[in-house]
Amino acid sequence: MQDNATPFINSFGKRKRLKKRFHEESRLRYRVNDMNSLLDNNYELLIKYIKHHREIQQPRLIELQDYARGDNHTILEYNRVKNKEMADNRLVHNFGDLVATFIQGYIAGKEIIVEYYDEELEEEENATINDFLHEVDRQNNTYQLNRSLIKTIAETGRAYDYVYQNQEDKIRIRKFDVRQTFVIYDNTHAEHSVAAVRYYPKTQFTSEDDNTLIVEMYGNDNYVYLLELKQNELFDEDIDEYAVNQIQITEYLGNELGIGAYETHLSKIDAYDAAQSDTANYMQDISDAILMIKGLMHMPRNSTPEQQIDWLQKMLQSRLMHLKPPTDQDNKPVGDVDAKFLQKSYDSGGAEAFKTRLKDDIHAETGVPNLSDEKFGGVQTGEAVRQKMFGLDQRIIDTMAHFEKSLKRRYELIGYLGVENGSILNFNIDHLDIRFTLNLPKALKEAIEAFNALGGEMSNETILEITNITDNVSQELERLKKEKIDDEGLIQNLAKKQRMTDLAVNSDAEDQTE
């Protein structure tokens, strides 16, 4: 039997055995000295990395994504209930998806703004670069791509995308499967990527006889290696040079360690699943409880055991039971009669308190608020909501910093390809500005009240923008302008008519005087 215990020696030299959820190398970052290290001895080191990723890292990624798909492993484990006659409900609670979706909406619910501005360039050239970037974003729907990447980051702690130029010279961005992709870095402090690897089965439905893998390795030598992995040997299929000056696959991390947002809380999710399932099992087992009879059951004479069971079932269905006490040698009644169902005692109050505490701990420690909690909802201000999410905000800042760093690498690849195909003349990543807009209710009422108390003034355009009353601010301003012009014209007409009326009155008065 495999021993999953991890040995550990503390600072006093005492040896411990820890039962960790994942292998200690399941988040390991692969490193080599240079590209040649991966090519030597017929890709010997590369084969080791692929094998390690499949056996050590991929299982963690699969399990974390399963918890975001409602396939929680512990509660679904085979033979959870030992007694086959007892209820075996498996209630799965999808906290993984709840946490990942909340973080996805919080960071990328509103579009991430990407703008380029270089003071040394003419306005027209800056506009051309921005138009180019925005068109690439539009063609690749990067709004949804970024949302997908951030959700995968929340689930597994990492994600990958791939930038390339197709045969029509169109720049394309594609998300790669996190379970089948990894990046290999060098040993310098800068941590430059030496190669990126993507692997997948040659056929969709593999078998033990044919489990060949297709391996794509993008090296920093500007070559992509297309290989086949069979029986722990790599065979060259094709080697082709690519156009950009760096590896086309970018790794996105959610934090420095690459830990998923709910990864360290799986044990509490498992405990909550178990508690709810055990409650459901108890409720079901009550209806299937064993009937205990104390005394003698009145049965037809000379009946067989099968007939007696049938007779008992009929009495239960009719809600009637005929019992008689046992008798002694003189045929006198001895003792009492009783009938009741056998069931385990259950502390419902304690069980519910335990489940509530578990649920509260999951929300508190992940930082994701329980939106169904009466204490959270109601008429609370935006600022009150922000204060409750302070812990999550600190982790979100870290995630955004890592995501921005990787986004700049993506746009550096896009800018390079744009210069190469003549779409733009030059591109410097240092002049790219990336802005996140967190998707959270604003403390608008308090801000406006404080602003007015300080005697502040605000333009109509700003008011329309911050209140979100209209989707098209410029169109609404045009309407206001037109209404103002129409109102001024109406006032002028009324004033003109009034003057004409006054003249007529004065004229009539002069005629009467004469």
In Å, how far are 129, 179, 217, 474 from 114, measured between CA atoms?
Answer: 11, 29, 30, 21
Is residue 438 a contact partner of residue 397, using CB atoms and an 8 Å limit? Answer: no
Question: How would residue 479 be classed by pLDDT, with cut points 50, 70 and 90?
Answer: confident
Task: Return the pLDDT at 82.
Answer: 75
Task: Return the pLDDT at 511.
Answer: 57
pLDDT at 433 over 90: yes
Task: State which amino acid sits at residue 79.
Answer: N
Tokens (6 digits) for 414 = 């896009």
Task: Return the pLDDT at 283.
Answer: 78
Question: How would residue 96 be classed by pLDDT, with cut points 50, 70 and 90?
Answer: very high
Question: How far is the C-alpha of 409 from the C-alpha of 167, rounded, in Å?
Answer: 23
Angle, helix 348-366 to helix 95-108, in steps of 10 degrees: 30
Question: In whole angstroms, how large is the CA radius of gyration of the chain?
Answer: 36
What are the beta bridge partners of residue 435?
Answer: 113
Task: Return the pLDDT at 512.
Answer: 53
Task: Return the pLDDT at 1.
Answer: 43
The whole-model pTM stands at: 0.78
DSSP 8-state symbol, 10? -
Average pLDDT of the residues in 280-292: 71
In Å, how far are 117, 220, 491, 501 from 498, measured between CA atoms?
Answer: 57, 83, 10, 5
Task: Return the pLDDT at 328.
Answer: 75
Q: Which residue has the higher pLDDT, 71 or 346?
A: 71
Question: How far is the C-alpha of 172 from the C-alpha of 300, rounded, in Å?
Answer: 84
How many other CB atoms are found less than 10 A from the CB of residue 85?
9
Task: Return the pLDDT at 272.
Answer: 94
Burial class (CB in 10 A: 0-12, 13-18, 19+), 356: exposed
Q: Which ranges constitute the DSSP H helices of 266-381?
A: 266-287, 305-317, 348-366
DSSP 8-state symbol, 114? E
Question: How far is the C-alpha of 423 from the C-alpha of 169, rounded, in Å?
Answer: 10
**Worst-scoring range by mean pLDDT, 24-28, 40-44, 330-334, 465-469?**
465-469
Tens of pLDDT, residue by residue over 333-389, are 777 777 776 666 667 788 889 999 999 999 989 988 887 766 655 555 556 666 777
Average pLDDT of the residues in 93-111: 95
> 221-249 as b/e, with b when 16 or more CB fall inside 10 Å?
eeebbebebeeeebeeeeeeeeebebbbb
How many other CB atoms are found less than 10 A from the CB of residue 53?
20
Question: How would residue 312 be classed by pLDDT, with cut points 50, 70 and 90?
Answer: confident
Task: Return the pLDDT at 87.
Answer: 81
pLDDT at 444 over 70: no
Question: How far is the C-alpha of 121 from the C-alpha of 133, rounded, in Å?
Answer: 16
């030598």: which residue's tokens? 221
Question: How far is the C-alpha of 102 from the C-alpha of 4, rounded, in Å?
Answer: 33
Question: How far is the C-alpha of 489 from the C-alpha of 493, rounded, in Å?
Answer: 6
pLDDT at 142 over 70: yes
Task: Return the pLDDT at 190.
Answer: 86
Q: Which residue has the higher pLDDT, 391 or 458?
A: 391
Task: State which amino acid sits at residue 259.
Answer: I
Question: How far is the C-alpha of 487 from the C-alpha of 398, rounded, in Å?
Answer: 53
Most trustworthy range by pLDDT among 4-18, 281-295, 329-343: 4-18
Q: What is the phi/psi pair of residue 469, to 5°? A: -70, -35
Residue 10 CA to its chain's centroid (Å)? 36
pLDDT at 78 over 70: yes
Nearest to 366 by CA among 131, 114, 155: 155
Mean pLDDT of the chain: 85
Q: Which residue has the higher pLDDT, 463 or 258?
A: 258
Question: How would residue 203 be classed by pLDDT, with cut points 50, 70 and 90?
Answer: confident
DSSP 8-state symbol, 6? E
How many other CB atoms are found less than 10 A from the CB of residue 504?
10
Task: Return the pLDDT at 97.
Answer: 96
Question: How far is the C-alpha of 146 from the C-alpha of 149, rounded, in Å?
Answer: 5
Mapped onto helix, strand or coil, the DSSP state of residue 301 is coil
DSSP 8-state symbol, 333? B
pLDDT at 496 over 80: no
Side-chain half-sphere CA neighbours of 388 within 13 A: 18
Question: How far is the C-alpha of 412 from the C-alpha of 315, rounded, in Å?
Answer: 81
**Which residues, in sequence order, are CB contacts of 234 under 8 Å at separation 6+?**
42, 43, 46, 47, 215, 227, 228
Task: Return the pLDDT at 499.
Answer: 65
Task: Return the pLDDT at 154.
Answer: 97
Average pLDDT of the residues in 228-255: 90
Q: Which residue has the higher pLDDT, 413 or 451?
A: 413
Side-chain half-sphere CA neighbours of 237 within 13 A: 16
pLDDT at 176 over 50: yes
Tens of pLDDT, residue by residue over 446-458, are 656 665 676 667 6
Is residue 279 a contact partner of residue 351, using CB atoms and an 8 Å limit? Answer: yes
Tens of pLDDT, residue by residue over 53-62, are 999 999 999 9
Task: Return the pLDDT at 305.
Answer: 83
Mapped onto helix, strand or coil, the DSSP state of residue 259 is coil
Task: Return the pLDDT at 489.
Answer: 66
Question: How far is the C-alpha of 26 from the C-alpha of 48, rounded, in Å?
Answer: 14
Is residue 58 a contact partner of residue 218, using CB atoms and an 8 Å limit? Answer: no
Domain boundaries, the chain: 31-261+389-435, 266-379, 458-513
Question: How far is the C-alpha of 318 from the C-alpha of 321, rounded, in Å?
Answer: 8
Question: How far is the C-alpha of 392 from the C-alpha of 483, rounded, in Å?
Answer: 46
